[in-house]
Amino acid sequence: MNSSLAQKTAHLKWLKAIRSSSAAVQQEPQARDCDCRIWLKQQARKQVVHKPRVVEAKPIELVLLASAAPKSARNFDYNRRFEQGEANWYHIPVSSLQDYTDEQIQAIAYLAVGITQVGVADRTAPYLYAVHEVSKVPRHMLTVAQAGTLKASEEDYWLFELTHSVPLAHPIQDFVQPFSVKIAKAKDLLHTYSFTALADVKENAHV
pLDDT of residue 105 exceeding 50, the answer is: yes
Spatial separation of the C-alpha atoms in residues 89 and 70, rounded to whole Å: 16
What's the whole-number mean pLDDT along residues 126-147?
Answer: 96
Percent of the chain with pLDDT over 70: 68
Question: What is the SS3 assignment for 109?
Answer: strand
Tens-place pLDDT, residues 88-104: 999 999 999 999 999 99
SS3 content of the chain, % helix, strand, coil (to 5): 35, 30, 35
Spatial separation of the C-alpha atoms in residues 60 and 63, rounded to whole Å: 10
Tens-place pLDDT, residues 9-24: 554 454 444 445 444 4
pTM of the model: 0.70
